[in-house]
Amino acid sequence: MDRSHFLVFRPRPRKREAPGNRGGPVALAGLSLVVALLAAACASSGTTTTGAAPTTRPAAPATSAPSGGTAASATSAPSGAAAGGATVTMTDQLKFEPATLTISKGTKVTWRNTGQVAHTVTDDPSKAADKSHAALPSGAQPWDSGMINAGQEYSRTFDVPGTYKYFCIPHEAAGMVGTIIVQ
């Protein structure tokens, strides 16, 4: 990973403060800005590739009933993708990030809703308003995550090689579409 774009944060020496005063809202705003800058610097755009073999993590309780596919669950625990897996974030800007992801067969992909707006992860041509937004390789089954609320995630393992084009049902018209290429 190219780390040349990371910012280094060095806090300034603190002024002498009254007892119990730790900076309050100003310090919190500064910390929020640093976190936002680091998140932006670490976020990828465009195409991401991952090829490591997936490992599993303990299953979390399902909060919705996804349809179709294998190894899928929607959870409310905001934890990272399993080692060797890949993560796609769903944002309030109505985007999947990264929009295109290239993975190896057998990789687990986790979609995480990092915003406040509910989304779906759907690859079912019968549910697409624009049929070009949904594509499945031969032998793959359609899937629909159901609504994924803020802080929830949905995962599925891709065992059939080929190109998958998927979309968010409520935001398809706004261009919330993504592509996964399984090699």
Active-site annotation, residues = 119, 168, 171, 176
The number of angstroms, rounded, from the C-alpha of 144 to the middle of its chain's C-alpha atoms is 15
> Which of 167, 125, 111, 162 has the alpha carbon at shortest distance from 140?
162
The torsion angles phi and psi of 110, rounded to 5 degrees, stand at -115, 125
The torsion angles phi and psi of 120, rounded to 5 degrees, stand at -125, 165
The torsion angles phi and psi of 49, rounded to 5 degrees, stand at -125, 135
Return the structure tokens found at 80.
């990272």
| Three-class HEC string of 93-120 | CCCEECCEEEECCCEEEEEEECCCCCEC
